[in-house]
Structure 1
C-alpha cells in the first residue's frame, strides 16, 4: 500500500482458513451460501475465527477513525451501540480468550440462515452476558463487566444512534462537533447509508469528517461519493 504503510492486504483461501477448526463443518456444509445474508453471516463467522487464530481487534469497514485507538483502552472489550445493546461491529479479544471459545462453540452448533443478526449482535449480547452473569450496565467510561471483559461506552465508537444515521449527512456543524468530540471513531451504518450522497466541500458532518480523517480518499473524490 503505497500511501498507507500501516495497512497490509492479505488474501486467503477460505477453505484452508476454516480447515481443522470448529467452524469447518459450517463452512463445508454450505448452507450459508443460500442465505439472503450470506455476506453478513460469512463476515460474522470469519471475524470470530480470525480472533480465535490470532486475537486482535476487529472493526467493520464503515467506521471512520478519528484518533489513535489506545491499546490500553481498547483491549478485551465489547462496545455498547444503540439502546444499550452490544454489537459485533467492533471488538477486541486476546488470542484464546474464553469469550471467543464460547462464540466458536455457539456458531458451530447453531445456524439460522434467515436471521440477519443471529450470528452477530444477538450472539454477542447473549454470550457476553451469560459469561459474565450480569445485566448490561450503562457506563460513561470503559469499565469491566466481569474479569477480562470490558464494556466500551457508546460515545467512544458510536456517537450516532442506529436510528439517527441520517444526521451524518446533515449540515449541523455544532451538533457534529459535540457528538464526536470525545469519540475515537464514527460508525456510518453502511447497510442503511450506502446510497446517501456525500457532497464534497459541503458542511455535511460526514463530509467534514472524511475531509479531515480520510484526506487521500477525499482528495480523489468527485462532486459526491
Structure 2
C-alpha cells in the first residue's frame, strides 16, 4: 500500500477541468494508493519531538517547510515503519528486496533522507527513535540539512563507529544497511541538468541500471518544463516507462 500524506487544509475537487485534478483522480483510481490528510499538531503528540514541534522553533528558522518535511518523514517511520520516499522519485525496480532498515548514500560523504526504511518494532524502531531525539536536541534553524540528511548520516556513522561514509557504503551495522549511491541517487544533484538533456539518455540509463529509484531533484529542477510532444530527454523517458498513466493526463508540458 502507498500512502500519500498531505498537511495543507485543501480538499480534493471532483472537477476534471484542470490537469492537476485529472492526475489526482487518476491516482485515486489505483486501489493501492491512498491520500491521507494529517493534522501535524495531533500527529506529534506523545512522540520524542512533541515538545520540540510545539515550541515553534521550526517556524522561526530559515527553512520552515524543508525542516517540517524532515520531521514528518522520521516521525512517520517511527509511528508506522515501512519505506518513506520523496515525491520526486521514479520507482524503477521492485522494492521487495530492500532490507528492512536502510538509507542510501548520496555521495562518499553523506547519506540522503529522501528514501529511508525502518521497522515498526525492534532495532529499526530504536534507530529511528534516536533520530527523532537527535532532531529535538540539536536543531539548527539556520542550516538546511541539519535535521534531514545530516541526522541519518550521523546515525550511520554512530552505528558503524566511523567518521567516513565512504568506509561503510554497501555495508550494514547493527541491522542498518547503507545502500550504495546508485540505489536511489545515481544522478547527483550537482548534475541534475543531465535529466533534461536528450544527449544524456544512455548515460542516465547506464547510471541507473542497478537503481531501485531515480531521484529527480525537483527542488532544483522545478522551473524546467518538458515539452512532451517534442522533447526526448531522460526524465521523460523514465516517466513514460514507469508512470505512463500520469503522462497520458498531461496535455503538453511536464
Same fold flag (TM > 0.5): yes
* Equivalences for residues 23-62 of structure 1 within 5 A: 23-62=49-88
Q: Which moved more, 1:202-211 or 1:83-92?
A: 83-92
TM-score, normalised via structure 1 length: 0.91
Check conservation: 1:84, 1:138, Cα contact below 8 A. no
CA distance in 2, matches of 1:221, 1:126: 41
Check conservation: 1:48, 1:103, Cα contact below 8 A. yes
- Deviation digits for residues 67-108 of structure 1, max 9, x if unmatched? 2112x3242111011344211111101124222121121112
The residue number in structure 2 matching 1:208 is 237
CA shift, 1:138, in A, is 5.9
The residue number in structure 2 matching 1:165 is 192
Helix, strand or coil at the partner of 1:87:
strand
TM-score, normalised via structure 2 length: 0.81
The residue number in structure 2 matching 1:91 is 116
RMSD: 1.8
Structure 2: where are the runs of 5+ without partners? 1-26
In the alignment, structure 1 residue 179 sits paired with structure 2 residue 212: no
CA distance in 1, matches of 2:168, 2:141: 33
Structure 1: where are the runs of 5+ without partners? none
The residue number in structure 1 matching 2:130 is 102
* Count of residues in Structure 1 that have an aligned counterpart in Structure 2: 222
